[in-house]
Amino acid sequence: MTDQTPPTAPETVVLDGRTFVGVSNAADGDVGADTVFAYRQEGDLVWAEYAGGSVRKGFLVGTRTGDALNFRYSHLDSAGETAGGACTSRIEVLGDGRVRLHETWAWESRPGTGRSVVEERGSRP
C-alpha cells in the first residue's frame, strides 16, 4: 500500500492480516475480550482462525460483498464441545483507521442468537 492515509470507506478496507478481539457479545455467545481473530482475505473470500477465552480453537469462512461479510463459524470450546453457526457482519472504519465488525449471529448447533462487536487490535498508520 503506497498511500499511508487510513481508509475511510468500509468497502475499500482489506481484512487480510488484520487481528481482531471481542469487544461485546450477547449472553448466548462464546466470544469475549480474550478471543483473538486472525483474518485473511483473497478477493471476496474471507476466513479467520480464532482462539482465546472460552474458545480453544475456531475457524470461520465466507464471502464479502462491499462492507458486508457472510460466513459460517465452527469452534471447540474449553469444555471440549463443538459449536457452530452463521454470521453476517458489517465493516466500520474507526477514526484512527482501525476496523470494527458489527456482527449478527445465530447458532446452528444449539439454541441462541445475538449481536457482537469485534475490533481491530492496535493502531493503524
pLDDT in tens, 80-95: 999 999 999 999 999 8
- Write a three-state SS string for the chain: CCCCCCCCCHHHCCCCCCEEEEEEECCCCCCCCCCEEEEEEECCEEEEEEEECCEEEEEEEEEEECCEEEEEEEEEECCCCEEEEEEEEEEEECCCCCEEEEEEEEECCCCCEEEEEEEECCCCC
Please give the pLDDT value at position 5.
59
Tens of pLDDT, residues 41-98: 999 999 999 999 999 999 999 999 999 999 999 999 999 999 999 999 999 999 899 9
Residue 7 included in any domain: no
pLDDT band at residue 7 under the 50/70/90 scheme: low
Q: Can you give the CATH number for the domain in which 110 is found? A: 2.40.128.30
The count of domains in the chain is 1
Whether residue 31 is predicted with pLDDT greater than 60 in this model: the reply is: yes
Domain that holds residue 70: 15-120
- Tell me whether residue 8 is in a domain: no
What is the average pLDDT across 2-9? 62
